[in-house]
């Protein structure tokens, strides 16, 4: 097996359910130190992170990734135990194989080969690794970026190893993500007996018209980078469980994935105006997961698409679909940020796996990106 697959196996064997790193980062740091990287461990709360850098000049190219994984679910449902990291029939199996320990392994081995051939490359290479991406993400990448910003250390180009590919490795590159705004709404009514509705105020009934307007509103038309903004209710609850009691409150949890045509403040104002229109008595708490970001044409996108074509002969699709990523914390610093990783077909599923050939191809693509950006043409 290749060094990429061997390293991926070592990482997958660590049961690093968020936020526990379970030994992944020391393993990675040892490999990076051997290449001349300086490692800075940055622990915040219960979260392990590190910033590794080789070189002290600009431009700075950074690989970004996470060692934490989502829970496995019932291990009895897995064909191969989730932390055995077994290779079978051309696939490496285990939690994190695709999301995203395979990508991290490919990044490290790409650097090993690149540095062996280009010891005096231009600029600097860096790694930003966290164990708090699958969890709240409060003490991970965002805190590392705050640390770097406080001392004026900037990333010029950043490649995040999220599993972006659809059918073939390298067929999709993410050049941005939609914003994500969460709301927890409590509509206040008056509890009472269903036989005496005149003595109560049913919050489900009073909210019905406002609900209809919220879910049918056309928030925007999107733009060339983003689809139209989407409003989705993820949870709704009211009642005591009894059939003869009008509930006193109604809880509605919702999310808006929004384009760069809107801001979080504009969305909040619009939602609250709809609630006011229908004279709702309510409490509302907002939580912003991230603002939308986009990386347009430039050095990083050119280097990445050229590398994919050079290694696979494919022309990558560039889009912003999917959920949020830690790129949302890096892009606001002015860095160009892209996401490129293996197939996402099995991420967060039982029997997560990734093709060993795909990981080797991905590592070759990463190496070519480094060459395109950090090797001066003679």
Per-residue pLDDT tens over the stretch 161-205:
999 999 999 999 999 999 999 999 999 999 999 999 999 999 999
Q: Tokens 């490919």 identify what position?
A: 106
Q: Helices (H), strands (E): how many in the chain?
A: 9, 19
d(CA 365, CA 69): 24
Q: What is the pLDDT of residues 314-351, one digit of tens each?
A: 999 999 988 889 999 999 999 999 999 999 999 999 99
Give every CB contact of residue 235 below 8 A, 6+ residues apart in sequence. 251, 252, 253
For residue 378, the model assigns a pLDDT of 54
Joined tokens for residue 95: 């939690």
Average pLDDT value for residue range 208-225: 96
Average pLDDT value for residue range 85-102: 98
The enclosing H or E element of 323 equals none
User: Quick check: is 220 catalytic?
Assistant: no
d(CA 242, CA 248): 13
Confidence of residue 376 (pLDDT cuts 50, 70, 90): confident
**Is the CB of residue 332 less than 8 Å from the CB of residue 139?**
no
Q: What is the pLDDT of residues 139-167, one digit of tens each?
A: 999 999 999 999 999 999 999 999 999 99
Give every CB contact of residue 104 below 8 A, 6+ residues apart in sequence. 11, 28, 63, 65, 67, 129, 161
Candidate list 21, 48, 68, 249, residue with the active-site label: 68
Q: What are the residues facing 184 on neighbouring strands?
A: 253, 285
Does the pLDDT at position 50 exceed 70?
yes
Average pLDDT value for residue range 84-113: 98
Average pLDDT value for residue range 249-273: 97
Q: What are the residues facing 53 on neighbouring strands?
A: 38, 126
d(CA 73, CA 351): 10
Q: Is the bond preceding 303 in cis, omega lying within 30 degrees of 0?
A: no
User: Quick check: is 133 catalytic?
Assistant: yes
Candidate list 133, 249, 367, 371, residue with the active-site label: 133
Give every CB contact of residue 356 below 8 A, 6+ residues apart in sequence. 1, 2, 5, 87, 90, 91, 92
Global pTM? 0.91
Confidence of residue 377 (pLDDT cuts 50, 70, 90): confident
């Amino acid at each position: 097996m290749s060094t990429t697959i061997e390293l991926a196996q070592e990482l997958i064997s660590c049961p690093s359910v968020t936020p526990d790193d379970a030994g992944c980062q020391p393993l990675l740091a040892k490999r990076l130190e051997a290449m001349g990287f300086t490692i800075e461990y940055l622990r915040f709360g219960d979260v392990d992170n590190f910033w590794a850098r080789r070189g002290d000049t600009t431009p700075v190219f950074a690989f970004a990734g996470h060692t934490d994984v989502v829970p496995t679910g019932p291990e009895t449902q897995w064909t191969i135990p989730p932390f055995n990291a077994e290779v079978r029939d051309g696939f490496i199996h285990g939690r994190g194989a695709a999301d995203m320990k395979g990508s991290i392994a490919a990044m490290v081995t790409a650097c090993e080969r690149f540095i062996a051939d280009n010891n005096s490359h231009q600029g600097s290479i860096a790694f930003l690794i966290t164990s708090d991406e699958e969890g709240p993400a409060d003490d991970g990448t965002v805190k590392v970026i705050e640390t770097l910003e406080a001392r004026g250390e900037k990333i010029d180009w950043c490649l995040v190893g999220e599993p972006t590919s659809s059918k073939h490795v390298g067929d999709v590159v993410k050049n941005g993500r939609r914003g994500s705004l969460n709301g927890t709404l409590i509509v206040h009514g008056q509890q009472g007996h269903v036989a005496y509705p005149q003595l109560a105020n049913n919050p489900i009934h009073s909210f019905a018209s406002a609900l209809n307007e919220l879910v049918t509103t056309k928030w925007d038309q999107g733009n060339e980078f983003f689809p139209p903004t989407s409003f989705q209710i993820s949870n709704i609850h009211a009642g005591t469980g009894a059939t003869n009691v009008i509930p006193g409150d109604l809880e509605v949890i919702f999310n808006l994935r929004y384009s760069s045509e809107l801001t979080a403040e504009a969305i909040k104002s619009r939602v609250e105006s709809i609630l006011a229109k229908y004279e709702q008595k309510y409490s509302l708490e907002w939580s912003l997961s991230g603002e939308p970001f986009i990386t347009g044409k430039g050095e990083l996108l050119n280097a990445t698409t050229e590398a994919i074509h050079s290694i696979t002969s494919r022309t990558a699709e560039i889009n912003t679909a999917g959920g949020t990523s830690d790129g949302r914390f890096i892009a606001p610093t002015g860095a160009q940020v892209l996401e490129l990783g293996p197939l996402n077909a099995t991420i967060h599923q039982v029997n997560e796996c990734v093709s060993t050939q795909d990981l080797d191809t991905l590592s070759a693509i990463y190496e070519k990106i480094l060459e395109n950006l950090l090797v001066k043409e003679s």
